Amino acid sequence: MRCSWKVVILMAVVSIIVIQYAVIRSFRTMTHDICPFLHPAKHCQQQTILNRHWPEENPHTLNLSGKTHVLILAATRSGSSFLGQLFNHHSDVFYLYEPLNHIQTALNSTHANRRMILGASRDLLRGLFRCDLHLLEDYIRPQPEKHITDQLKRRGASKALCSPPVCHVFSPQLVNVTESQCVQKCGSLNLTLASQSCQQRGHVVIKTVRVPEVSDVRDLLEDPRLNLKVIQLVRDPRGVLASRMMTFPQNYPLMRLWKMKHQKPEGLNLTQKAVCEDYRRSVATALRQPDWLRGRYMLVRYEDLATNTLQKIQEIFKTLGLSFDENIMDWIETNTEGKGDWSPMDAYGTKRHSATNSESWRFKMSFDMVQYVQTLCETTLHQLGYKIVKSFEELENVSLSLVEDRTWRPFQ
Residue-by-residue DSSP string for 274-316: HHHHHHHHHHHHHHT--TTTTTSEEEEEHHHHHHSHHHHHHHH
Residue 346 CA to residue 16 CA, distance in Å, equals 66
Cα 280 from Cα 272, distance rounded (Å): 12
189-190 vs 148-149, strand pairing mode: antiparallel
Alpha helices for 187-308 (secondary structure H): 191-200, 218-221, 237-247, 253-261, 272-287, 302-307
Task: Please write the tens of the pLDDT for every residue from 77-104.
Answer: 999 999 999 999 999 999 999 999 999 8
Taking the C-alpha atoms of residue 330 and residue 175, their distance in angstroms, rounded to an integer, is: 7
Q: CA-to-CA distance for 87 and 334, rounded, in angstroms?
A: 15
Confidence label for 120 from pLDDT (cuts 50, 70 and 90)? very high
Mean pLDDT computed over 344-354: 47
pLDDT at 212: 92
> Do 86 and 123 meet the contact criterion of CB atoms below 8 Å apart?
no
Which strands sit side by side in the sheet containing 203-208, from one edge to the other?
93-97, 203-208, 68-73, 228-234, 297-301
- Confidence (pLDDT) at 9: 56
Q: What is the pLDDT of residue 314?
A: 93
Average pLDDT over residues 41-45: 33
User: Which uninterrupted H or E stretch holds 357?
Assistant: helix 354-359
Predicted pLDDT at 32: 30
High-pLDDT (> 90) share of the chain, %: 58
pLDDT score at 196: 97
pLDDT higher than 50, residue 40: no
| pLDDT digit string, tens, across residues 306-316 | 999 999 999 99
Count CB neighbours of 94 within 10 A.
Answer: 29
Phi/psi region, residue 308 (left: phi>0; alpha: psi -120 to 50; beta: rest), is beta
On the question of pLDDT at 330 being above 70, the answer is: yes
pLDDT for the residue numbered 395: 95
pLDDT of residue 254: 87
**Which amino acid type is present at position 235?**
R
Q: Which of 115-119, 259-263, 300-304, 387-391 has the lowest mean pLDDT?
A: 259-263
Residue 190, φ and ψ in degrees, nearest 5: -95, 110
Query: 113 versus 206: which is more confidently predicted?
Result: 206
Q: What is the pLDDT of residues 146-169, one digit of tens each?
A: 999 999 999 999 999 999 999 999
Share of the chain above pLDDT 70, in %: 78
Q: For residues 37 and 160, what is the distance between their CA atoms, to the nearest angstrom? A: 27
Comparing 411 with 335, the larger pLDDT belongs to 335
Q: Confidence class of residue 408 from pLDDT cuts 50, 70 and 90? A: confident
Lowest mean pLDDT among 7-11, 102-106, 211-215, 216-220: 7-11
Q: How confident is the model at residue 337 (pLDDT cuts 50, 70, 90)?
A: low
Query: Which three-class secondary structure state does DSSP give residue 87?
Result: helix
Round to whole Å and give the CA distance between 303 and 79.
9
The whole-number pLDDT of residue 111 equals: 72
Range in 128-142, 223-237, 254-268, 382-396 the model is least confident about? 254-268
Verdict on whether the full-model pTM lies above 0.85: no
Least confident of 41-45, 91-95, 113-117, 296-300: 41-45
Average pLDDT, the chain: 81
